[in-house]
Structure 1
Amino acid sequence: MNPTTFRIGGDLTVRRLGFGAMQLPTEPAADRATSLAVLRRAVDLGVTLIDTAHMYGGGANEELVAEALHPYPDGLLVTTKVGLARSADSGEWGLDGRPAVLRDQVDLALRRLRTDRIELLQLHRVDPEVPFADQLGTLADLRTEGKIGRVGLSEVTVAELARAREIVDIASVQNRYNLLDREHDAVLDACTAAGIAFLPWRPIAWGGAGEREEVAAVAAELGATATQVALAWLLDRSPVVLPIPGTSRITHLEENVAAAGLTLDADQRRRLTELAPGP
């Protein structure tokens, strides 16, 4: 039986199946009301990890999360990400890991999330134009100042993770990963060895899993959906994996959360793991 919880950074306990808020629309009003309902339903269902980012609507997603859930119930972790900024000239989003930008985005997130401290703050991407030590050093300083509790990374290699850990304790890594996309197997293995939380974004292969005969067969055996099987495989892959599937529909949310109750037997695990990754 897989553990149902994980302690991020060794001390912050969350249920392993979280929720990614990226897909939630913030307007028009009717869609916003549905988004608020989805977030509240997630917490009602026992989700204790909500993932957002400065980039999602330029902070609008963070404000949505706060509107739905503040004051936050005990045990709820809202994590956000910084390090991407919109160009004043083109309006396009791009990497920006300059210390002043990271600090500003953290301060904005604190206000939008209506909190004095972000318990897990992740660097959305490593900016190759800014010294690595400056980016991680800024997050380390923010942790020392008490504005953030733990530092995480996103879309990093094994080498970048090792370099980062020489500068500051790393509590989490958020890389793209799912049943049919295992490019970052080595990063996940490194996180497993170090006890670092691994939050796979795009944890479901956008319908691809349901097109695989083996996935459909396992789903039929379990009386589940292909999406639930894909999430159950992730939870089974390593105890440090914390999937954060997102949706804007309560029915899909309920389906996703129910995947935490599935148990794969040894044969089902083998058949799924042996699937060739998708293109």
Structure 2
Amino acid sequence: MDSTTFRIGGDLAVSRLGFGAMRLPTEPGADREQSIAVVRRAVELGVTLIDTAFLYGGGANEQLLTEALYPYPDDLLITTKVGVAQTGPEGEWRLDGRPEVLRDQVEQALRRLRMDRIELLQLHRVDPEVPVADQLGTLRELRDAGKVGRIGLSEVSAAELARARESVEIVSVQNRYGVVDREHEPVLAACAAAGIAFLPWRPLGAAVAPGAASGDTAEVAAIADELGATAAQVALAWLLHRSPVILPIPGTARPDHLEENVAAAELRLAPAHRERLERLAAPAPSRPGGSH
């Protein structure tokens, strides 16, 4: 196994540089057609890990991937997430880890994705109103029934990960993380120690924010200029170098950005560049925002 691939759970080989499908427009029209073209191009470029979720359009994102890629290449992993539903008092989205909701979302995902088994299913968030044992127990039952191959978590602390691993095997964690956003460094360390895949969402983050004027952003831009690369490529190259368990999943709806992101796998950072990037870190917020 070379440095461009990783075996999730010890056996499921994927490209370390994946693709996050959240940003893809799914409404009928020209934007949807471009979304289909972008995700097909990602696979042509060698991407074998694509991340989606029920939350992304209530399954519309999963349907888009099916339209674009089915029948799937043998080496392609589409991983999806469950545990967020439109079950709030006014029909709004909220965390919902009730066993019946998780089971229903998995059944729906299997139908939409036209799969017999979801090889990697991730719990989108731990629902604080449902016992964790019930949430993980439901996922374990789905795995034992053959509807799920492996189980992952998202937005968990190192302590939550440790507790979860006491009741079920966890093969992946999807937390927000990037060169200037390292709140979840302890989680990455725990994953690295256990050989668990770490999928940073929002892997570019503030490092390439338009108009950002922080010293960290300026340093990433300066290194990019020195290498004849883009800030996004530097941020992704740093992640790939940071730990062999890191599988970045940058997302885009633009073909040019996709090509740029994939090319980051070939960018080599000199030791001096890596040292400068290691010194960067944004102040940690209390809890992450966004709706990945």
TM-score, scaled to structure 1: 0.97
Aligned partners of 2:66, 2:162: CA distance in 1, in Å? 34
Deviation at residue 55 of structure 1 after TM alignment: 0.4
Task: Give 1:219's aligned residue.
Answer: 224
Establish whether residue 265 from structure 1 lines up as the match of residue 265 from structure 2.
no
**Counterpart of 1:97 in structure 2: which amino acid?**
G
1:134 counterpart residue number: 134
Q: Which residue of 1 aligns with 2:94?
A: 94
**What CA distance in whole angstroms lies between the structure 2 residues aligned with 1:121 and 1:39?**
20
Matches within 5 A, 1:8-87: 8-87=8-87
- Amino acid across the alignment from 1:264: L
Deviations 1:45-65, CA, capped at 9 Å, x for gaps: 000000000000000000000
Looking at structure 2, the residues matched to 62 and 174 of structure 1 have their Cα atoms a distance apart, in angstroms, of 18
Answering whether residue 158 of structure 2 is matched by residue 153 of structure 1, we say: no
Distance 2:12 2:129 in 1: 33
Secondary structure of 2:80 counterpart: strand
Matches within 5 A, 1:172-251: 172-206=172-206, 207-208=208-209, 211=213, 212-251=217-256
What residue number does 1:163 align with? 163
Cα distance, 1:135 vs structure 2: 0.4
Give the Cα separation in 2 of the matches to 1:103 and 1:6.
29
Measure the CA separation in 1 of the matches of 2:173 and 2:87. 26
Task: Tell me the alpha carbon deviations over residues 85-119 of structure 1, each in whole angstroms, 9 at most, x when there is no partner.
Answer: 00264231101001110000000000000000000
| Contact 2:17/2:262 (8 A) holds in 1 | yes
CA distance in 1, matches of 2:121, 2:283: 31
What CA distance in whole angstroms lies between the structure 2 residues aligned with 1:28 and 1:142? 33
Kept in 1: contact 2:87–2:96 (CA 8 A): no
Letter in 2 for 1:203: P
Q: What SS does structure 2 have at the residue aligned with 1:170? A: coil
8 Å CA contact 2:204–2:235 kept in 1: the answer is: yes
Q: Matched residue of 2:3: which SS? A: coil
**Cα pair 2:88 2:94 within 8 Å, conserved:** no
What is the CA deviation profile of residues 187-234 of structure 1, one whole-angstrom value per residue up to 9, with x for unaligned ones? 000000000000000001143497523212211222100010001111
**Distance change >3 Å, CA 276–CA 199, structure 1 → 2:** closer
- Which residue pairs with 1:113 in the alignment? 113
In the TM superposition, what whole-angstrom CA distance separates every residue of 1:131-172 from its partner, at most 9, and x where no partner exists? Answer: 111100111111100001000000000111011101110010
What is the rounded CA distance, in whole Å, between the counterparts of 1:265 and 1:145 in structure 2?
A: 48
Contact 2:54 2:80 in 1 (8 A): yes
Instruction: Give the distance between the partners of 1:56 and 1:87, measured in 2 at CA.
Output: 15
- List structure 1 segments (4+ residues) > 3 angstroms apart after TM superposition: 208-211
Other-structure match for 2:289: none
State the AA in 2 paired with 1:12: L
- Aligned twin of 1:275: 280
Paired residue secondary structure (1:248): coil
Query: Larger deviation: 86-95 or 101-110?
Result: 86-95
Residue aligned with 1:152, SS? strand
Deviations 1:21-48 (A, max 9, x none): 0000111321111110011000000000
CA distance in 2, matches of 1:276, 1:20: 23
Q: Secondary structure at the match of 1:188?
A: helix
**1:278 Cα offset (Å):** 5.0
